[in-house]
Amino acid sequence: YLKDKITKASYANVFIIKYKICREVIICI
């Protein structure tokens, strides 16, 4: 259960990082 929460949190962090890169570069992958 705890591991699942950590996994979801890490996915959210990856999404936020990609979104920031996307906004800076204006190219979404």
Give the tens place of pLDDT for each residue, 1-29: 678 888 888 888 888 887 777 676 665 54
pTM, two decimals, is 0.45
What is the phi-psi region of residue 26: left when phi exceeds 0, alpha when psi lies from -120 to 50, beta otherwise? left
Range of the domain at 15: 1-29
Q: CA-to-CA distance for 3 and 7, rounded, in angstroms?
A: 6
How many domains are there within the chain? 1
- Structure-token pair, residue 7: 């996994």
Q: Is 15 helix (H, G, I), strand (E, B) or coil?
A: helix
What is the predicted pLDDT for the residue at 1? 67
Return the pLDDT at 14: 87
Which three-class secondary structure state does DSSP give residue 2? helix
| Phi/psi at 24 (5° precision) | -75, -40
* pLDDT at residue number 27: 59
> Could you tell me how many residues make up the chain?
29
